[in-house]
A and B are shown apart, each in its own frame.
Chain A
Amino acid sequence: GEDVEQSLFLSVREGDSSVINCTYTDSSSTYLYWYKQEPGAGLQLLTYIFSNMDMKQDQRLTVLLNKKDKHLSLRIADTQTGDSAIYFCAERPGTYKYIFGTGTRLKVLA
């Protein structure tokens, strides 16, 4: 079946690293994504990783992909209060639809 799971909440102190984890089920997904949703706004793409990659780094963001375990993680270095948001993991099996996780609400404490 299609299911993307995430923990619902994460709280970190400003300046620490945040790690948000996700497990997915469809091994045919070509791309895996991280979206960010700020309060009162829609989702915006943060980063994505192609399924033949193990890691992708983009400034403070590091994405790790373990295809064997179907596990995706997003690490945010030097987390800031502006990083407080809901983070969604998503997969895209086939070519037509995106399947989103439950979202992880990140709270950054000053």
Chain B
Amino acid sequence: DADVTQTPRNRITKTGKRIMLECSQTKGHDRMYWYRQDPGLGLRLIYYSFDVKDINKGEISDGYSVSRQAQAKFSLSLESAIPNQTALYFCATSDSPDRGTEAFFGQGTRLTVV
């Protein structure tokens, strides 16, 4: 089983719909992240969380919200999806810096908003 699991892997939704992307991890890491990937723009940080009570906005948080339901679960919501939110979304986890430096990524969720 993957260490970082994202569901769904692919989703097509209509403009204006609310959609939730889910992420769960078995690494036992405190830190979790949501990124979106767009061609030519690389990965941009949407939200990150250091623990269940600590949620922080990234560089492109407008139009998104998150929920850290447990240490292992971090979900991303699009309250009212719009076409320019069509992208590949990645969840990632990492340990605290004194215990490790690598970020571990899920397989990604390809979201299309029509």
A96 to B90, CA, bound (A): 17
Contact B42 A88 (CB under 8 A): yes
Given contacts A4-B42, A97-B45, A101-B42, contact A42 B101 (CB under 8 A): no
- Does A41 belong to the interface (CB within 8 Å)? yes
Contact partner of A42 among B45, B50, B105, CB < 8 A?
Answer: B105
Interface residues on A, range: 20 to 34
Find the B residue at minimum CB distance from A92: B101
Contact partner of A43 among B40, B56, B90, B96, CB < 8 A?
Answer: B90
Whole-angstrom distance between the Cβ of A99 and the nearest chain B Cβ: 8
A99 to B33, CA, bound (A): 12
CB contacts (< 8 Å) of A4 on chain B: these are 42
Whole-angstrom distance between the Cβ of B37 and the nearest chain A Cβ: 8
Contact B40 A102 (CB under 8 A): yes
Q: Which of A1-41 contact B (CB under 8 A)?
A: 4, 6, 8, 30-31, 33, 35, 40-41
Interchain pairs with CB closer than 8 A, number:
56
Contact B45 A88 (CB under 8 A): no
Contact B107 A103 (CB under 8 A): no
- Does B12 belong to the interface (CB within 8 Å)? no
A58 to B35, CA, bound (A): 28
CB contacts (< 8 Å) of B45 on chain A: these are 97-99
Using a Cβ–Cβ cut-off of 8 Å, how many residues does chain B contribute to the interface with A? 26
A17 to B97, CA, bound (A): 33
A6 to B40, CA, bound (A): 10
Whole-angstrom distance between the Cβ of A65 and the nearest chain B Cβ: 15
CB contacts (< 8 Å) of B44 on chain A: these are 100
Q: Which of B98-114 contact A (CB under 8 A)?
A: 101-103, 105-108
A6 to B107, CA, bound (A): 23
CB contacts (< 8 Å) of B96 on chain A: these are 95
Contact B101 A31 (CB under 8 A): yes
Residue ranges of B at the interface with A (Cβ–Cβ < 8 Å): 4, 31, 33, 35, 40-45, 48, 50, 56, 58, 90, 92, 94, 96-97, 101-103, 105-108
Q: List 8 A-B contacts (CB under 8 A).
A: A6-B42, A33-B102, A44-B105, A48-B102, A97-B45, A100-B42, A100-B44, A103-B43
